[in-house]
Chain A
Amino acid sequence: MTRGGPRPAEAWQLALPLALFFVVFVFAPLGLLGLVSAYNEPELRTMGLAQYAKFFGDAFNVNILVQTLALALKTTLLAIAIGYPLAYLYTLAPRRLQRVLLLVIVLPLLTSAVVRTFAWIVILGRLGIVNSALQTLGWIDAPLTLLYTPTAVVVALAQIEMPLMVLPVITALMNIDPNLTQASAVLGAGRWRTFWAVTLPLSVPGLLAGCLLVFAAAASAFVTQTLIGGGRHMFMPVYIYQQAIQVYNYPFAATLAVILLVSVLAVVTVVNVLGRRSRGFVHG
């Protein structure tokens, strides 16, 4: 029963314009993308699986996919390590501080990702704050090469996507009934035990939601991957861009896009299934 809301018959009509838009401008193109990936040559003459054979037959290509997924995974783990304590700190903070903290978390999310990537170039560059600090301390003589390394990409991405992790975790933590942690304390558990045994398990749904967002964002973070990774470290998004815009090999670019899409969706689906289980567990 839908109290107060539009009845199902009217609901269709209101959702129809967006649904039509999605059919024409999201699903039709993605379908077409799949179709184009099934052509054997850039001139789109014969159909077949030549592009997929080319991708999976070449260790260079497969390695790019593996590197991309590994980058997304490492970024996600680092974002948990930094983001979770921040989310937890938020729930402990007094109300006024919470408002400030929330703004500190939300502002970066609204600020251009290009700008935030640029910030890391300023920090990690040869003349950046890290190198000048190390030189001032006398620990190094010449500036280190910090930029254009895989580690730099992971660190920068984890920082850039961190709000996507923190916000859902905060929501999950705030939804935990305070009586539960108080009950744990009264039953004799200390702060650490209460955290590991009650708070952390109950925040898993938020944690998984955050992981999904960070993983998906990191896997397709074209700007950060290119600017911090430089030309030597290739990831799927740049590869797609090169094949399409510079090489004009649409079938292969489409194949790369389909493979990236399917990989990300596969991870999202698996995590969603896990998430549904953990939610059932949280709400009894």
Chain B
Amino acid sequence: MAEAPGMPAGAARESRGSRVERWSFYAAFGVLGGAAVTLLAAPTVIVLITSFTSAYTLKFPPPGYSVRWYRALWESSPEIVAAAVLSLKVAAVATAIAVVLAVGAALALARQRAAWARILDSVFMSPLMLPLLALGLALLVLFSRLGVELSLTTLVIGHVALTAPYILRTTTASYVQLDPTLLECARALGARPWFAFRTVTLPLVAPGIAAGAFIAFMASFDNVAISLFLSDARSEVLPIRLWNIIESSLDVRAAAVSGVLIGATAVLALVMERIVGLSRHVR
């Protein structure tokens, strides 16, 4: 094609001020954001490295590397293993109960605009905002007034209250995104409510429920504030055991426990990301 007649010889250039303005902007956010990413990730990495130390102290960088603290954890720390098993048990049972309760509530409340539904929703979400320590103490007072001995059951009850909001939130979010015409369509095609729920609602909301259950499980597994008041003298959950170790002796086994927890969390999170798109449900 021939050149258009009357083209000017040179092209206009961006002014220097504009260039400086643009670069300073991206440089500022790049540096600050990059620093934040480092700050977010570095501590975890440092603990992971420390857990492989060969020394008796938490010196960083470690003077040498070994897996001795992991072996110590596995071979000669039955109380830590017992605490981990108890934590897993409590988190699993509490999450299972919370799923049943919270999914029902989410289905009921997600599409309601009425005031009572909105109030109920924020009530159910309140444990995320409350100081859980206060709830733990309150439950302890309730159980002692009622003459109920502390047990696995009392611990699980406390954990249901703290896990339910996570499941409620993710389930509500995926249910709201579910196109209501899909359900209407199922009904118009002859499906009874239960059949439509089983074949349309549940499969499409399941990733949200699973993501919520996973986050809830991790929150329960990590909880100290409630367990502090509700576990009986014999049963100690892992985070409290770990807290005790760190507070009293700074035993390097704490680093090994941390290493296991970091690894397990990362693996589980990546698996959940693959299956249900975890990160989409956290936002």
Contacts and interface: CB of A to CB of B under 8 A. Distances in A.
Do A and B have CB atoms closer than 8 angstroms in the complex? yes
A119 B242 contact: no
Contacts of A33: 134, 137-138, 141
Interface string A2-15: 11111010111111
Interface string B129-144: 1111111011111100
Given A28-B142, A33-B141, A122-B47, A227 B246 contact: yes
A117 B222 CA distance: 12
Interface in B212-268: 215, 218, 221-222, 224-225, 228-229, 239, 242-243, 246-247, 250, 254-255, 257-258, 261-262, 265-266, 268
Interface stretch (A48-56, A58-66, A250-258): A250-258
Interface stretch (B5-13, B21-29, B64-72, B73-81): B21-29
Contacts of A30: 134-135, 138
B4 interface: no
Given A32-B142, A82-B39, A103-B269, A129 B60 contact: yes
B184 interface: yes
Contact of B254 (A118, A167, A223): A118
A26 B136 CA distance: 10
B44 A103 contact: no
Given A110-B265, A114-B222, A220 B133 contact: yes
Contact of A15 (B34, B109, B215): B109
Contacts of B44: 107-108, 111, 115-116, 119
B40 interface: yes
Contact of A14 (B107, B135, B282): B107
A227 B250 CA distance: 11
A83 interface: yes
A197 to B, nearest CB: 13
B203 interface: no
A181 interface: no
B221 to A, nearest CB: 7
Interface string A230-264: 00000011001100110000100110011011001
Given A190-B18, A264-B130, A8 B114 contact: yes
Nearest to B240: A114
Contacts of A205: none
B114 A244 contact: no
Contacts of A26: 126-127, 135, 161
A227 B265 contact: no
B222 to A, nearest CB: 4
B128 interface: yes
Given A111-B44, A257-B134, A264-B129, A3 B180 contact: yes
A167 B114 contact: no
Contact of B229 (A8, A25, A244): A244
A222 B269 contact: no
A128 B60 contact: yes
Interface residues of chain A: helix, strand, loop or mixed (majority) = helix
B206 interface: no
Contacts of B142: 25, 28-29, 32
B118 to A, nearest CB: 12
Contacts of B60: 122-123, 127-129, 132
Contacts of A125: 58
A192 B61 contact: no
A281 interface: no
B33 A85 contact: yes
Contacts of A85: 28-29, 32-33, 35-36
Contacts of B157: 25
B247 A36 contact: no
Interface string A198-236: 000000000000001100100110110011000000001
Contacts of B47: 115, 118-119, 122
A112 B221 contact: yes
Nearest to B47: A119
Contacts of A89: 29-30, 32-34, 36-37
A45 to B, nearest CB: 15
A142 interface: no
Nearest to A90: B33
A123 B117 CA distance: 47
Contacts of A166: 36
Given A122-B47, A123-B60, A163 B133 contact: no
5 contacts: A21-B164, A25-B161, A112-B222, A121-B246, A264-B129
5 closest A-B pairs by CB = A89-B33, A4-B180, A85-B32, A220-B131, A119-B43
Given A104-B40, A265-B130, 19 more contacts: A3-B111, A17-B105, A30-B135, A30-B138, A89-B29, A89-B36, A110-B218, A110-B268, A115-B44, A118-B242, A122-B46, A132-B60, A163-B40, A190-B21, A192-B24, A223-B239, A237-B131, A245-B228, A253-B137
